[in-house]
């Protein structure tokens, strides 16, 4: 089983910020310490490309995120201050889900399982981010797997206590 993690996932946030950003590094440390995974099971993902992101997100929204031109209300709705590191983290998170899907579908390492240790950005909608979610990794990956001809249909099982409202709206018309 391949596990995708990048140090970029731990975004530096202002003191007192309520998002528990360190949870991603702690999860990786716990998995490493478990002895269940070899060092080469941990992979650093590439960032999702514009082409991959644009399958799920509006071009204007991507431009505003990448260019740092989100307005104050958009930044507040996302919940993270805009920085270049925030953009890279968001691209890498989507890239990790893409890589995990490709790995699982290819049965890399003999396993049809793979994971992104920082996935679940299900509150990002087509043209806005929300609830600490900038790019919707599940929607980006589902649409990429279809576009690449790897799958015809995708089931997204979201076990979070909150509905993945962004995922639902982005994929509403996708079979």
Residue 93 belongs to a domain: yes
Q: How many domains are there within the chain?
A: 1
- State yes or no: is 125 an active-site residue: no
Which candidate in 8, 57, 123, 125 is catalytic? 123
Q: Report the pLDDT value the prediction gives residue 146, as an integer from 0 to 100.
A: 97
**For residue 124, what is the domain's CATH number?**
3.40.800.20
Which structural domain range is residue 129 located in? 2-170
Task: For the chain, give the DSSP string.
Answer: -EEE--GGGS----TT-SS-TTHHHHHHHHHHHTTSS-GGGEEPPPPPPHHHHHTTS-HHHHHHHHHT---HHHHHHH-S---HHHHHHHHHHHHHHHHHHHHHHTTGGG-S-EEETT---TT--SS--BTTBSS-HHHHHHHHHHHTTS-S-------SSS--HHHHHHTTT--
**Average pLDDT per run of 10 along the chain, which is 175 residues long?**
96 95 97 96 98 99 99 98 98 98 94 95 98 98 98 93 95 91
| Residue 175 counted as domain residue | no
């Amino acid at each position: 089983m391949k596990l995708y993690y990048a140090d970029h996932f731990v975004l530096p946030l202002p003191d007192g910020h309520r998002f528990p950003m360190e949870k991603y590094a702690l999860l990786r440390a716990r998995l490493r310490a478990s002895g269940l995974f070899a060092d080469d099971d941990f992979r650093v993902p590439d960032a999702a490309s514009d082409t991959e992101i644009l399958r799920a997100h509006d071009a204007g929204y991507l431009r505003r995120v990448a260019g740092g031109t989100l307005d104050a209300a958009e930044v507040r709705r996302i919940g993270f201050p805009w920085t270049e590191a925030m953009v890279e983290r968001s691209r890498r998170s989507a890239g990790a889900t893409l890589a995990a899907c490709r790995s699982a579908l290819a049965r890399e390492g003999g396993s049809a399982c793979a994971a992104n240790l920082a996935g679940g950005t299900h509150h990002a909608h087509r043209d806005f981010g929300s609830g600490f979610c900038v790019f919707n990794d599940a929607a980006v990956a589902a649409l990429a797997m279809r576009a690449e001809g790897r799958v015809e249909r995708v089931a997204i099982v979201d076990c979070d206590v909150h509905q993945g409202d962004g995922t639902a709206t982005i994929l509403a018309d996708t079979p």
